[in-house]
């Protein structure tokens, strides 16, 4: 036993010495393990993958190999320089199956120094919507196709496919497009993607029926178009409004139809139009019937007998009709929500006027425009040019016609041709002549001076016509005294009569006195 202990002593001493040396020796950092990074980390056959490596200092001068799974993809080997390997690109091998794969760096003895996972996607088609209607926009994405190879995408709206696009797959094996769904029958429709290598994928888009109406808000008599898509091909549909069949339509072999009808006379409100196919499946589309008024004419003259028709109003109500702010009448709305009424356009200015109809629930307006054409210029009759007239002369001119009757005339008399300060102006004359009154009598003209007169017409829409040419005339001196002299003479006559009667009375008294004496 002493011999065994003696033999163990040198080993113990050697161990202690090594521990002491390790304690005083400087620490050496541990070397990092080699690593690689790849980009992208997923793809397909033909995808170019960029590889970078670090911490390969221990293998300086060695030539390393790159593997995709067990396939050596860079045959010349990779030289390590400065502790790293140069960036390099590998192509994912042909016929690589979907799933997880390994890209690795191996030394000459086949030992894996570093590796990274790479994923190969399944071939598939992805839609952003799996159910849609005709006319919708669908985004189609293809995944898992050979990088760089052209992919053709087709849509089977019928048994014969339509090609949507042909485009090369990206480096990641993807392609994408948007397309508008063409006319298709209801149900599933195939979408297929394939390339020249025989790679293929397919999926299905579910088409559902849809309805569109050209006038969601309509009036009585409006033309309604209903477009249906996504229905069963070569079918027939019935169109019903308010429980009554109003028309039918034939569905095309691609599931589309157009139904046309005119809104019948019904009261205003919300309605649902029913579309029933041969399988007695009913679909609905809403629309609103609105109240409406129409005018027999939208332009005319004052006094025109104007027709106002209304539809879609509240049954049995009183519909008030206003011309601007003037109420013309109130009419009773019939059982179909309609009415018709005539009224004479009142005297009003030329231009636009608002006709308003209200039943307390529905209010509708229309614009009527009063004509703005001025009346013609009246023809001058008397006084004639350069004629001589009396102080209370009569002026006469030709009557004119205007649609906006009655026509009124304005007469002006002036001492100057410019009529800046007329001595007389008479407006609103109903007749085509006027005689000056006593208080309007004109003074005689001095020698070589004249009066001037003119006239114009104005219709009931306040359209002023042009003035007639100015006509010169003279007023002759009067041979009779003015009227006030009559009163003076009468006064003198009465005064003389009183004086004479006074003298007679005095004479009579004198005679009586003489006789008595």
pLDDT digits 0-9 by tens, 242-254? 889 999 999 999 9
Q: What is the CATH number of the domain that holds 193?
A: 2.60.40.1930
User: Are residues 468 and 400 part of one domain?
Assistant: yes
Same domain, 151 and 91: no
189 and 276 part of one domain: no
- CA–CA separation, 478 vs 437, rounded Å? 15
**321 and 283 within one domain:** no
Contacts of 125 (CB under 8 A, 6+ apart): 140, 141, 142, 143, 153, 191, 192, 193, 201, 202, 203
How does residue 503 score in pLDDT terms, banded at 50, 70 and 90? confident
Q: Is residue 2 packed enough to be buried (19+ CB in 10 Å), middle (13-18) or exposed (0-12)?
A: exposed
Q: Looking at the domain assignment, is residue 70 inside a domain?
A: yes
Given a contact cutoff of 8 angstroms between Cβ atoms, the answer to whether 321 and 334 are in contact is no
Collapse the DSSP code of 263 into the 3-class scheme (helix H, G, I; strand E, B; otherwise coil) and give the result.
Answer: coil
Q: What pLDDT digit, counting tens, does each position of 436-445 carry?
A: 999 999 999 9
Task: Give yes or no for a contact between 55 and 35, defined as CB atoms under 8 angstroms apart.
Answer: yes
User: In the numeric block, which tokens belong to residue 256?
Assistant: 């589309």
361: how many CB neighbours lie within 10 A of its CB? Answer: 10
Strands 150-155 and 187-195: antiparallel
Residue 485 has pLDDT above 80, yes or no: no
pTM for the full model? 0.63
4 within a domain of the structure (yes/no) = no
Of 268, 287, 306, the position where a domain reaches its end is 287
Confidence bin at 24 (pLDDT 50/70/90): very low
250 lies in some domain? yes
Other Cβ atoms within 10 Å of 36 Cβ, number? 19
Check pLDDT > 80 for residue 517: no
Distance between CA atoms of residues 337 and 268, nearest Å:
8
Output the pLDDT for position 4.
40
Give me the CATH number covering residue 77: 2.60.40.10
Residue 488 lies in a domain: no
Query: Are residues 324 and 274 both part of a single domain?
Result: no
Residue 27: strand, helix, or coil? coil
Task: Let me know whether 359 and 317 are in one domain.
Answer: yes
Confidence band (pLDDT; 50, 70, 90) for 267? confident
pLDDT one-digit tens code per residue, 456-481: 999 999 999 999 999 999 999 875 44
Full DSSP string of 66-98? EEETTEEEEEEEEE-BTTBEEEEEEEPPTTPPS
Residues 388 and 467 in one domain: yes
pLDDT tens digit string along 306-328?
A: 999 999 999 899 999 999 999 99
Are residues 351 and 392 both part of a single domain? no
Contacts of 336 (CB under 8 A, 6+ apart): 265, 266, 267, 311, 315
Residues 108 and 51 reside in one and the same domain: yes
pLDDT digit string (tens) for 196-229?
999 999 999 999 999 999 999 999 889 999 999 9
Please check the confidence at residue 147 and state whether its pLDDT lies above 50: yes
Q: Is residue 20 part of a domain?
A: no
Number of domains in the chain: 5
Return the HEC string of 338-387.
CEEEEEECCCCCCEEEEEEEECCCCEEEEEEEECCCCCCCCCEEECCCCE
Three-class SS string for 144-209?
Answer: CCCCCCEEEEEECCCCCCEEEEEEECCCCCCEEEEEECCCCCCEEEEEEEEECCCCEEEEEEEECC
Is residue 28 domain-resident? no
- Answer yes or no: do 141 and 172 share one domain: yes
Q: What would you report as the CA-atom Rg of the chain, rounded to the nearest whole angstrom?
A: 56
Collapsing DSSP to helix, strand or coil, 502 comes out as helix
Residues spanned by the domain of 186: 124-207
Residue pLDDT, tens place only, 388-426:
999 999 999 999 999 999 999 999 999 999 999 999 999
Burial of 216 (0-12, 13-18, 19+ CB in 10 A): exposed
Question: Does 244 map to a domain?
Answer: yes
Q: Which tokens sit at 466? A: 């042009």
Give the single-character DSSP code of 30: P
131 and 83 within one domain: no
Domain annotation covers residue 499: no
């Amino acid at each position: 036993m002493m011999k065994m202990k003696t033999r163990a002593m040198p080993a113990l001493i050697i161990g202690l010495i090594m521990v002491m040396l390790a304690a005083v020796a400087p620490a050496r950092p541990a070397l990092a393990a080699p690593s690689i990074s790849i980009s992208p980390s997923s793809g397909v056959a033909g995808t170019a993958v960029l590889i970078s490596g670090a911490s390969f200092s221990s293998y300086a001068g060695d030539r390393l190999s790159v593997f995709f799974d067990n396939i050596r993809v860079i045959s010349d080997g990779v030289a390590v320089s400065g502790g790293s390997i140069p960036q390099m690109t590998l192509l994912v091998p042909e016929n690589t199956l979907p799933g997880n794969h390994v890209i690795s760096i191996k030394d000459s003895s086949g030992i894996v120094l570093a590796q990274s996972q790479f994923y190969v996607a399944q071939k598939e088609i992805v839609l952003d919507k799996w159910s849609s209607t005709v006319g919708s926009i669908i985004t189609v994405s293809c995944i898992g196709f050979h990088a760089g190879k052209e992919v053709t995408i087709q849509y089977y709206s019928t048994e014969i496919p339509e090609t949507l696009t042909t485009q090369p797959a990206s480096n990641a094996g993807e392609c994408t497009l948007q397309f508008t769904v063409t006319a298709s029958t209801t149900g599933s429709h195939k979408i297929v993607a394939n390339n020249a290598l025989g790679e293929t994928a397919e999926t299905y888009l579910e088409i559902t029926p849809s309805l569109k109406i050209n006038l969601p808000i309509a009036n009585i008599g409006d033309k309604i178009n209903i477009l249906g898509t996504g229905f069963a091909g070569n079918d027939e549909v019935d169109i019903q409004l308010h429980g009554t069949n109003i028309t039918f339509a034939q569905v095309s072999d691609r599931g589309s139809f157009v139904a046309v009808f005119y809104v019948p006379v019904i009261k205003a409100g919300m309605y649902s139009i029913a579309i029933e196919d041969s399988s007695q499946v009913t679909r609905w589309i809403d629309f609103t019937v609105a109240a409406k008024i129409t005018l027999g004419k939208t332009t005319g003259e004052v006094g025109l007998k104007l027709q106002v028709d209304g539809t879609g109003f509240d049954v049995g109500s009183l519909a008030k009709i206003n011309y601007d702010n003037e109420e013309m009448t109130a009419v009773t709305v019939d059982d179909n929500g309609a009415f018709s009424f005539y009224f004479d356009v009142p005297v009003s200015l030329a231009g636009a006027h608002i006709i308003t109809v209200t039943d307390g629930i529905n209010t509708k307006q229309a614009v009527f425009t009063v004509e703005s054409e001025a009346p013609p210029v009246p023809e001058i009759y008397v006084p004639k040019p350069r004629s001589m007239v009396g102080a209370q002369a009569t002026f006469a001119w030709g009557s004119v016609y205007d649609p906006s009757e009655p026509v009124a005339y304005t007469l002006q008399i002036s001492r100057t041709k410019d009529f800046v300060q007329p001595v007389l102006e008479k407006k609103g004359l109903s007749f085509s002549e006027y005689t000056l009154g006593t208080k309007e009598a004109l003074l005689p003209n001095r020698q070589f001076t004249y009066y001037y007169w003119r006239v114009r017409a104005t219709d009931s829409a306040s359209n002023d016509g042009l003035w007639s040419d100015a006509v010169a005339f003279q007023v002759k001196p009067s041979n009779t005294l003015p009227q006030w002299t009559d009163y003076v003479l009468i006064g003198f006559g009465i005064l003389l009569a009183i004086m004479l009667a006074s003298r007679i009375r005095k004479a009579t008294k004198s005679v009586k006195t003489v006789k008595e004496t």
